[in-house]
Amino acid sequence: MTDQMPPQTDTALICGQGALPGLLAIRAPEAMLVQMEGFPADLGDCPVQSFRLERLVPLMEQLLDRGITRVCFAGAVRRPRIEPEFFDARTATLVPRILTAMQSGDDAALREVIAIFEDWGLSVVAAHEIAPDLLASEGVLAGAVTEADRADAARAAEIVAALGALDLGQGAVVAQGLCLAVETLPGTDAMLAFVAERVAALRPNPKGARGVLYKAPKPGQDRRIDLPAIGPETIRNAAAAGLAGIAIAAEGVLILDHAATVAAADAAGLFLWARA
């Protein structure tokens, strides 16, 4: 991994929900912080500016006026409700591009967002370019992985790759070779809650392998935006679902608090494996 990048005054963090924006704000304390209305970021007392998607062009102009040349998208943002009366004339011209892309799926929509920012001369950088330590290299980070776990992870990886090819989720739960759940729009926590409620009925052999959560980017995904992520809460939810552990794609999934996540896995008796 490379060293952490120095603070950048030419960088803006476009902040969504979750822990990632706060982690990046610590590593880039001079960055400008921007968040979409209705999706408050967990940024503590840090000054943050809100904007509406319907006024995207004025936002980009303001960024350029402030000397911003790079933007980093950090955190989760659900598809916002569009309010036509708030559009300015220039942003309204972008609506056909955005709506057409959204009809093709989340990844297509995000690629179009990147293209729009780049059209305005703003380069888009990945979260892990600001904080390389958020990615894990190949290896077992906590616990022990059995052959049955490896087989379940391999099966889950096949399923996630198939989901990603359709621009759907980035995670799946597999136990004893059977897919118990896949990640869709509600997200990983909702998927694990579903498994937790039904695990006794879903797992074929109650005394067999307990199952694996696997997360990975979509095939061909632009890794500058919307990389999958895990953290201590993911560990707790996987434990509540009765799983044996979590496997992630090495160098492809953000670990939002490495030390706390590994400690949570050890405490819960779960393995955490960055799988090549």
4 pLDDT higher than 70:
no
Range scoring the smallest mean pLDDT among 15-19, 116-120, 150-154 = 15-19
Q: Is residue 97 part of a domain?
A: yes
Residue finishing a domain among 99, 130, 161: 130
Residue finishing a domain among 114, 130, 146: 130
Q: Is residue 3 part of a domain?
A: no
Continuous H helices in 7-94: 20-27, 56-65, 89-92
pLDDT digits (tens, 9 = 90+) for 174-205: 999 999 999 998 899 999 999 999 987 888 89
User: 72: which DSSP letter?
Assistant: E
pLDDT digits (tens, 9 = 90+) for 229-256: 999 999 999 999 999 999 999 999 999 9
Residue finishing a domain among 100, 130, 160: 130
- pTM more than 0.95: no
Q: For Cα atoms 92, 94, 95, give the angle at the middle one, nearest 5 degrees.
A: 70
Same domain, 191 and 252: yes
Same domain, 99 and 216: no
Domain with residue 116: its CATH number is: 3.40.50.20
Q: For Cα atoms 178, 182, 187, give the angle at the middle one, nearest 5 degrees.
A: 150
By CB neighbour count within 10 A (0-12 exposed, 13-18 middle, 19+ buried), where does 2 fall?
exposed
Two tokens at 141?
């980070």
Same domain, 177 and 251: yes
Same domain, 144 and 242: yes
Q: Is residue 5 part of a domain?
A: no
Domain with residue 210: its CATH number is: 3.40.140.80
Domain that holds residue 234: 135-275
Same domain, 85 and 159: no
Query: How many domains would you assign to the chain?
Result: 2
What is d(CA 159, CA 172) in angstroms, rounded to the nearest whole number? Answer: 7
